[in-house]
Amino acid sequence: MYPLFVHAHNPDRIQSHNRYIDFYRQTSDSEPEGYLYAYDSHSLWEFYHRGYKISCGYYDSNLRGQISALTDEGGILDFAAPVRYLSLELGRDIANHSFKARVELAKDPGAGITYETSFEGKSCQVSLETRKARAALDYAIAGDLGSIPFHWLKSNLTMRFVDQYKSTDIKASAYFPTLHDSLFANDLNMYGLHFEQLRRAGDNTQIKLQASYFYSSARLRYKGELYGKLDHLNLFKLGIDVGRKNQHLDWTLGINSYHSFIDDDSYFDIWPFSAWDAFLAHRSRIKRFHINSCSPFAGLLYHSASPDAEGPAFWGAISYHHHFMESDILLKNRKVVLYPFLFSYESLKFDVSEDLDAHLEIKPKFCYRYSGGEIELEITQLLPLKWRKILDYDGGEPSQGPGKKTKQWGGTQARLNLNFLF
């Protein structure tokens, strides 16, 4: 596929977008270890022929996570959600109207259409896309080996409206289960709705409004037995921020609020995977799951040149986000006292509000533009802050006990974009 991008006949544009995100990593001598990272790479070739815009692209991404050393004897969980396809897109402009149609060729195929029109300084764009996707959770615990598959169909409807005073984006998403095999029938349903509006409040001042809603439910079955259930997981988000652009230094102030909860009991039960586990049936039941968060933030952005200026340029952004959070999470673990007559329950309470007080977001970006294209490198780093630990710091290193060392890091993102015109 890659030689096609390099040896294309008189292409108008060649693009390459690459991103890597290191969400979280932990190494420890006494606790489970793990990591979560993601990457995506998109190469695109565009050219025009007799009024048609033709694009050919290759997309490759993956979300990977792993937890190891689950028990004294070992044990590992490994998650992967790969996406890989070849895309072919055909576009046509007729007067004030634009049409695009795209197909994605892969083991999990997809397709999409886009329509855009403009009139009297206003524009409207509507896009519809759908794609199959898959993921797998591999496990190796206490001699039991296997893989839990997930298959779903993802669909997005996106609308964008723009005039001289504001731009409005609306996106509706839906995930539906598709394939089942002879062992697993994992039905995962998710729905999302996002609204965002950017409004001009002056020559250099903008106001951004955001509102999102997410809903999820799941029924997980193994050989016809229900081993997991997730009922009515809801997430709401509201946000507003005000920003002002200046010649070299921009600023922004805003606030985001989150609210999530589960209506009914949800659980995960390990017993279907092994006949012996029926005598030691362990069911984790989520009795309560409520998290409320309010996060005001302030940020500064320095840019050495105009966004459209040629030559080298540097952007540097820093923002502080403070978290006011409350949570009520109650889990109950069922334990067998005398199978199958007598069971007991152990209650576990969690308070995630104690884990984080605030965080800093640092984002430097380097760019070089010239008449034939641009090269852009951007790095983002999140730094968690626990003010209680900082204010109580006495100059000594916190002790973790003899032979116990735990290291945690993450929150890093790197992007490299290449754009060449011919």
Residue whose tokens read 């060649």: 14
Global pTM reads 0.83
Measured between alpha carbons, how far is residue 100 from residues 55, 96, 97, 186 in Å? 10, 14, 10, 34
Give the end-to-end CA distance of the chain in Å, rounded to a whole number: 20
What is the rounded CA–CA span in Å between residue 419 and residue 411? 27
Q: What span, in angstroms and rounded, lies between the C-alpha atoms of 215 and 51? A: 43
Nearest to 329 by CA among 281, 291, 356, 279: 291
C-alpha 246/C-alpha 369 separation (Å) is: 21
Q: Which residues pair with 347 in a beta bridge?
A: 332
* Phi, psi (rounded to 5 degrees) for 354: -85, -10
Q: Beta-strand (E) ranges in 263-323? A: 266-269, 283-303, 311-322
Q: Where is mean pLDDT largest: 23-32, 172-181, 273-282?
A: 172-181
Going by pLDDT thresholds of 50, 70 and 90, the confidence category of residue 276 is very low
pLDDT digits (tens, 9 = 90+) for 339-376: 656 667 777 777 777 678 899 999 999 999 988 899 99
Closest among 249, 162, 159 to 198, alpha carbons compared: 162
Q: Give the CA distances from residue 418 to residues 67, 298, 327, in Å, rounded to whole numbers and listed in that order.
A: 35, 31, 43
Identify which of 348, 240, 372, 373 has the alpha carbon closest to the alpha carbon of residue 289. Answer: 348
Specify the CATH architecture of the domain 66-75+93-421: Beta Barrel (2.40)
Rounded to the nearest 10°, the torsion over CA 177, 178, 184, 185 is: 50
The rounded Cα 25 to chain-centroid distance in angstroms is 17
pLDDT tens-digit map of 120-134: 889 999 999 999 999
- Residues 40-54 have a mean pLDDT of 89
Residue 8: count of CB within 10 angstroms of its CB: 16
pLDDT in tens, 218-241: 888 888 877 788 878 899 999 999
Domain extents in the chain? 66-75+93-421
Q: What proportion of the chain, given as a percentage, has pLDDT over 70?
A: 85
